[in-house]
Chain A
Amino acid sequence: MTGAGIRIEGLRKRYGSGDTAVDALKKVDMQVFPGEVVGLIGPSGSGKSTLLKCLGAVIEPTAGRMILDDEVIYDDGWKVKDLRALRRDSIGFIFQAPYLISFLDVTDNIALLPMLAGKPNAEARGQALDLLKALDVEHRAKAMPSQLSGGEQQRVAIARGLVNRPPVILADEPTAPLDSERALAVIRILNEMARKYETAIIVVTHDEKIIPTFKRIYHIRDGVTYEEAGQGLEF
């Protein structure tokens, strides 16, 4: 696996200035390849959320480089003008809670992203239905989020993260509210989707149930990342 995916070099993030400055990220180096699911593990306050926000183009890092799909998006400053479009088209998000839009049905929750990107409604809904089929929740296409089980909601959230075929997906504690069986099911789906859609997936977690499933793990402690080989257990 070479090229593409996401590569982070010497990323730093400092909050505040002077005596009150806090270095949330001191030196982050990461690379995640297309089709790969890696774990990002660290204790509370280690900088996980800050890193996720930097990778998600929600907050601006202080220094470093980020290369997404062979395009430098950050090099001691943003290199893309429209961060909103970057988030919409190139980064998928999966949250701890599914955070589906309550007033849209399952199909439109997923189709909304391609629609926002300017795709015709019919085409966007077609993409959404394809993903629902792949994730085995096609039969819930017309249901409202409140009518879904927790596992179904998380699958729909995964579909939403994948629908624009982003080169990278950031998953923030996606299995936290789930039991072991469902948590492992979600990880299996993420692995399948990563391979199928050639997407790099970073899973932020401290869920002991799923850590052994990663082939590569990045530990983060005091704002510094360390790479480690994972067990990569089949499940």
Chain B
Amino acid sequence: MISLAGRDIMHSWGKFVFTGAGLGLLIGVTLSMAGIYRGMVDDAKVLLDNSGADLWVVQKDTLGPYAEPSSIYDDTWRGIRGMPGVARTANVTYLTMQVRQGERDVRAMISGVTAGEPGTPGWPPYLVAGRQITRGHYEAVADVAAGFKLGERIGIRRNSYTVVGLTRRMVSSNGDPMVFIPLKDAQEAQFLKDNDAILQQRRRTAVNPAFNQPGVLDAVIASQSTNPYVNAVLVQVAFGHGAEEVAASIRRWKQLTVYTRGQMEEILVGKLIATSAKQIGMFLVILSIVSAAIVAFIIYTLTLGKIREIAVLKLIGTRNRTIAGLIMQQAVALGVIGFVVGKITATLVMAPIFPKYVLLEPLDSVKGFVAVVVICVISSIIAIRAALKVDPAEAIGG
């Protein structure tokens, strides 16, 4: 038996290809939306992976350092370092801000990393160009996505930094490129005020009778111009110890909140990008409904155009299932054409130019393909019902 659907498609291939291409653009957007969500999740995981930490020690009862502000003293790490099961510790600060590059500025996540060596928690795990930070001040390592070049001077608050190294796929959970600078510089940048504000603060402190006493005023002013806080302490667990066990110990003795890798991933994926995920999910649902409506309309219109032929087919003894198969196969063919166009569009056009990281996973493509086929099959039901209602007597007339 010949394929009636195949013959019909070959006979009017132009109509099918152009319609499929239009549908494909919609499917391409749908696949890209899924890719954006995957990219956001991947960004969050990359952020955790690249921190090199097994545990995140943050201010008690906060979801810091990524999802909520967290502030702990910068000497907290000493006490943690001495606890059983702790191999390495490092202070870290994060702040998202605009970094100046000549005339333009770039939104970036500034990460203040403690002095150390490659492998120290918080340090970029690898570079694609240049070197790691070796000086205590005014050097930076930046993600290539920021668009900075080696040796270039960038401005963070009132200070200039020289880009000495470049890394790749070091981004915040929002997808902003990361810029690593020495911890002291980052602490300063967090609360750095302009000269007028500093003078104003010193004048106010000096006129306060409680502070304006011999020996006290200088100490108070000194404390106001330094920042003894960091956002978190990153901890690497020693070989042979469990992360949860060490975390429990720190929670008990240090009165701080400690997150393991799994908990931190849950915070980032489950809370930080949850709203975005819901928005993307809604878009996926809407796009799926629109795609289904388009396929249903197209197939229904194509079927109405063949009513007389369907009547003849029924009159000469064609089974209902053959006619239903003709329509359903055409709907699926339309979906397959649309999926191929959509996959190509998402991979070669949308993903490279989209401002956020778009991760198109093969499994998502498989799921997308199955969804497209199912949607097409369901969408063809209206047309099939219309075709099966056709009276073979219509071919005879009268």
Contacts and interface: CB of A to CB of B under 8 A. Distances in A.
Interface of A: 48-50, 52-53, 56, 58-59, 84-85, 87-89, 93, 95-96, 99, 101-104, 108, 111-113, 115-117, 121, 144, 160, 172
Interface string B1-25: 1101001101110000000000000
Given A56-B315, A115-B2, 12 more contacts: A49-B397, A53-B398, A58-B392, A58-B396, A59-B393, A87-B317, A96-B397, A99-B309, A99-B312, A104-B2, A108-B7, A111-B2
Interface string B83-116: 0000000000000000000000000000000000
A87 B397 contact: no
- B-side binding surface: helix, strand, loop or mixed? helix
Contacts of B395: 93, 95, 99
B209 to A, nearest CB: 98
Contacts of A96: 397
B275 interface: no
B1 A121 contact: yes
Contacts, number: 81
B11 A144 contact: yes
Nearest to A146: B11
A198 B393 CA distance: 26
A56 B2 CA distance: 25
A102 B310 CA distance: 11
5 contacts: A50-B398, A58-B392, A96-B397, A108-B7, A116-B317
A103 B8 contact: yes
Contact of A104 (B7, B315, B319): B7
A96 B397 CA distance: 9
Contacts of B8: 103
Contacts of A102: 11, 309
B309 A101 contact: yes
Interface string B306-319: 00110011111111
Contacts of A50: 398
Contacts of B322: 116
A183 to B, nearest CB: 18
Contacts of B313: 101
A103 B11 contact: yes
A95 to B, nearest CB: 6
A116 B319 CA distance: 8
B7 A103 contact: yes
A113 B167 CA distance: 69
A85 B317 contact: yes
A157 to B, nearest CB: 10
Q: Top 8 nearest A-B pairs by Cβ distance?
A: A49-B398, A88-B317, A103-B11, A103-B8, A58-B393, A99-B312, A87-B317, A103-B7
A115 B396 contact: no
A189 to B, nearest CB: 20
B3 to A, nearest CB: 11
Nearest to B5: A103
A49 B397 CA distance: 7
A113 B317 CA distance: 8
A89 B318 CA distance: 11
A230 B62 CA distance: 104
Contacts of A52: 396, 398
B75 to A, nearest CB: 81
Given A53-B398, A58-B392, A93 B11 contact: no
Contacts of A121: 1-2
Given A52-B396, A115-B2, A116-B318, A99 B308 contact: yes
A99 B395 CA distance: 8
Given A49-B398, A95-B396, A112-B2, A101 B317 contact: no
Nearest to B309: A101
A107 to B, nearest CB: 10
Nearest to A84: B317
Contacts of B393: 53, 58-59
Contact of A108 (B2, B314, B319): B2
Given A103-B11, A144-B11, A53 B396 contact: yes
B398 A88 contact: no
Interface in B304-334: 308-309, 312-319, 322
